[in-house]
Amino acid sequence: MNKTIIVSNRLPLQIDISNDKLRITPSVGGLATGMKSVHEEGKTLWIGWSGLKEEDLDDTLTRKVDQAVAQEHCAAVSLTGKDLDNFYYGFSNRTLWPLFHYFMEYTYFENIQWESYKRVNRKFADMVLKHTDDGDTIWIHDYQLLLLPELIKRERPNASIGFFLHIPFPSYEVFRTMPWREELLRGMLGADLLGFHTYDYERHFLSSVRRILRLDTHFNEISYEGRTIRVDSFPMGIDYRKFHNAAIAHGRQNEAQKSDLQKRLDTHLLSTPGAKMILSIDRLDYTKGIPNRLRAFEYFLEKYPQFREKVRFVLLAVPSRSNVPQYQLLKKETDELVGRINGRFSSVSWTPIWYFYRSMPFENLIDLYTSCDVALITPIRDGMNLVAKEYIATRVDQSGILVLSEMAGAAKEMNEALLINPNNFEQIADTLKRALEMPVEEQAERNAFLQQRLERYSVDKWAGEFLKALRATRKLHHVMVSR
Ligand code: ADP
Ligand code: G6P
C-alpha cells in the first residue's frame, strides 16, 4: 500500500533531556501546530529533527529518542552541532528566513553555510529514501528543505512529491540577490506540486522561475525536464473545532477548575470598571513587529490618556532561535521597551504591560484568547499568521476584535478584521481606540463572517485540497507521458 510521508525540519514534538529522562512537549510555530492535526489521524509518518544535538546523545539515549518518536509515528533525523550552526542557525535562519521576509540588512551569504545546507538536505533525503517506495506520496515543508524535492525526485521518479512553503516567497528583485538562486529553484522544481499561502507568493515564485531559469510558464504550470509542475496557492487554516470547543469548555469552568493565570486575568477584569485587555502572541522574531507594537501602544497611551489604568496589554513571546544575534538583540530591545513603558505609565494599582517570555500549554493559550478583548497582531512580514485565526476561533460569543497587519498572509482572507500598516503608529493608536470602543453588535457581525470562513477552510480541508491537487497533477503527468 502506498504511504504518505510528511517531511519538515522540525518534528511536531520537542524533546528535552534531563538526568537521562526525556520530556516531550509540542513544538511551537505555525507549521508544527497546523500539520499536527493532519498527522494525528495516524496514517502518516513524519520525518524531521527532534530538536536535540547528536553529540548530546549516547547509544542508549539515541535508542530512547528513536522509540519515543516512533510512538508518535515520527522518525528523527539527527543533526550535529556543526549542522545546527551552519544549516539551522546559519543558512536557514541567517540567509533564507531574513531574505524571504525582506530583511535584506539581516541576510548573510556564506559559502560554508550553503555547503552545510546542501549536506543536511542530503541527510534528510537519505532518511526519506529509507522509509519510502516509488509510488508513495511525500509532502515536504518549508524553507529549510528547498533542495529536498529534487534529491528525492532523482531517486524516486514515480513518487508524488508535494512542497509547501510556509513563509513568503519574495519578489524577484529580492530573490535574485541570492548567490545560489538557480540551485534553490531547481531544488524546488523536483516537486510535482508547489503550494504557497497566497497568490502573491505564487506569482513571485513563477516570476523568478521565468526570469532566472528562463523556463516557460503557462498560467500556473511549468514544463520542466519532461514533467508538468503545478504551482498554486492554498491558504493554511487552523483546527477550528479544536479551538472553538476548547473555548466552549473553558466557559463552563467553575472557580476550582480555573488556572492560576485565568484567576489573575479575572482579577484585573473585575477589579476596575471598564477594564479591557489587549493580547499579542508570537515567537520572539523580528518579523513579528514586536518593538513597533510596543511603541505604538506607548503612543496610544500618550494620545488617549483616558485608557490609562483601564487597559492592560498582555504580551506573550515564545523564545526562538536564540543563537542568532538578531534574536538576541530583539530580546534586549523588547525587555527595555517593556521596562520603559511600564516605568513611565505604571501606578500603584496598574501595570500597562504584562510580559511573558516563555512557551505556554494549550490551556493557558485558551485562557488568554478567551479573556482578551482585542488581539493586536502587527507583523512587519508574515507568511500567514495562525494566531490571528486561533483568536477568532475561540470567540464563542462573537465578541472581540482582531487588529491585524496588512503584511500577514492571513490579512488576505480576514477582511473583517481591522487592518493596519504596522509602521503607522498613528493608525494603530486610532484603530486600538476604535476596537476598544466598538459596539458589540458590530464585533459580532464581523466575527460571524470570519468564523464561518475559518470553519469552512479548516486545516484538514487545506491538507485535503493540497493532496487532491497533488494527485491531479500526477494524473496529468501520466496522461502526458502516455501520449
Ligand atoms: P509562526 O509560524 O511564525 O511561529 P504562527 O502565528 O503562524 O507563527 O504560528 C504560531 C503557532 O505557535 C500558533 O499555533 C500558536 O498557537 C503557537 N504559539 C505561539 N506562541 C506560543 C506560546 N507562547 N506558547 C505556546 N504556543 C504558542
Ligand atoms: C515558522 C517556520 C517553521 C518553523 C517555526 C518555528 O513557523 O515556518 O518552519 O518550524 O517557525 O521555528 P523553529 O526555527 O523553532 O523551527
Cα(147)–Cα(125) distance, integer angstroms: 9
ipTM strictly over 0.95?
Answer: yes
pTM above 0.80, yes or no: yes
Higher pLDDT, 158 or 20: 158
pLDDT at 483: 57
Q: Assess contact for 247 and 395: CB atoms under 8 A.
A: yes
Query: For residue 293, is pLDDT > 60?
Result: yes
Cα(172)–Cα(206) distance, integer angstroms: 9
Cα(306)–Cα(293) distance, integer angstroms: 20
pLDDT digits (tens, 9 = 90+) for 160-178: 999 999 999 999 999 999 9
Query: For residue 270, is pLDDT > 90?
Result: no
Q: In this structure, are strands 13-18 and 21-26 parallel, antiparallel, or unpaired?
A: antiparallel
CA of 33 to the centre of ligand 1 (A): 8
Pocket test for ligand 1, best of 33, 164, 288 (most atoms within 8 A of CB): 33
With H, G, I as helix, E, B as strand and everything else as coil, classify residue 476.
Answer: helix
Cα(435)–Cα(375) distance, integer angstroms: 10
The ligand 1 site (C-beta within 6 Å) comprises 28-30, 33, 281, 283, 316, 318, 359-360, 365, 384-387, 390
Report the pLDDT averaged over residues 473-478: 73
pLDDT band for 475, please (50, 70, 90 cuts). confident
Q: In this structure, are strands 221-224 and 217-218 parallel, antiparallel, or unpaired?
A: antiparallel
pLDDT at 43: 81
pLDDT at 273: 85
Q: Within a 13 Å sphere around the CA of 408, how many CA atoms are in the beta-carbon half?
A: 29
The ligand 2 site (C-beta within 6 Å) comprises 10, 29-32, 142, 166-167, 320-321
pLDDT at 38: 79
Cα(168)–Cα(380) distance, integer angstroms: 12
Q: Give the residue from 475, 483, 482, 431 showing the smallest Cα distance to 230.
A: 475
Give the closest residue (by CA) to ligand 2 atom 11: 29
Give the closest residue (by CA) to ligand 1 atom 12: 29
Q: Assess contact for 266 and 250: CB atoms under 8 A.
A: no
pLDDT digits (tens, 9 = 90+) for 84-95: 999 999 999 999
Residues contacting 239, CB < 8 A, separation 6+: 34, 37, 458, 459, 460
Q: Which three cell numbers stand for residue 109?
A: 551569504
pLDDT at 412: 97
Query: For residue 409, is pLDDT > 80?
Result: yes
477 is catalytic: no
Point out the ligand nearest to the CA of residue 141.
Answer: 2
Q: Give the residue from 202, 193, 197 showing the smallest Cα distance to 167.
A: 197
pLDDT at 272: 83
- Phi and psi torsions of 213, nearest 5°: -90, -10
How many C-beta atoms surround the C-beta of residue 264 within 10 A?
14
Report the pLDDT averaged over residues 382-386: 98
Q: Which residue has the cell 494599582?
A: 349
C-alpha 205: how far from chain center: 19
Report the pLDDT averaged over residues 381-391: 98
pLDDT at 19: 86
Q: Which atom of ligand 2 is nearest to the CA of 166?
A: 8
pLDDT digits (tens, 9 = 90+) for 346-377: 999 999 999 999 999 999 999 999 999 999 99
With H, G, I as helix, E, B as strand and everything else as coil, classify residue 460.
Answer: helix
Please report, rounded to a whole number, the percentage of residues in the chain having pLDDT higher than 90. 89
CA distances 48 to 7, 70, 156, 175, Å, are 6, 12, 19, 26
Sign of the Cα torsion 394, 400, 404, 409 reads positive
Q: Assess contact for 409 and 452: CB atoms under 8 A.
A: no
pLDDT at 477: 66
- DSSP codes of every residue in 62-110: HHHHHHHHHHTTEEEEEE-HHHIIIIIIIIIIIIIHHHHTT-GGG----
CA of 104 to the centre of ligand 2 (A): 19
382 is catalytic: yes
Query: For residue 41, is pLDDT > 80?
Result: no
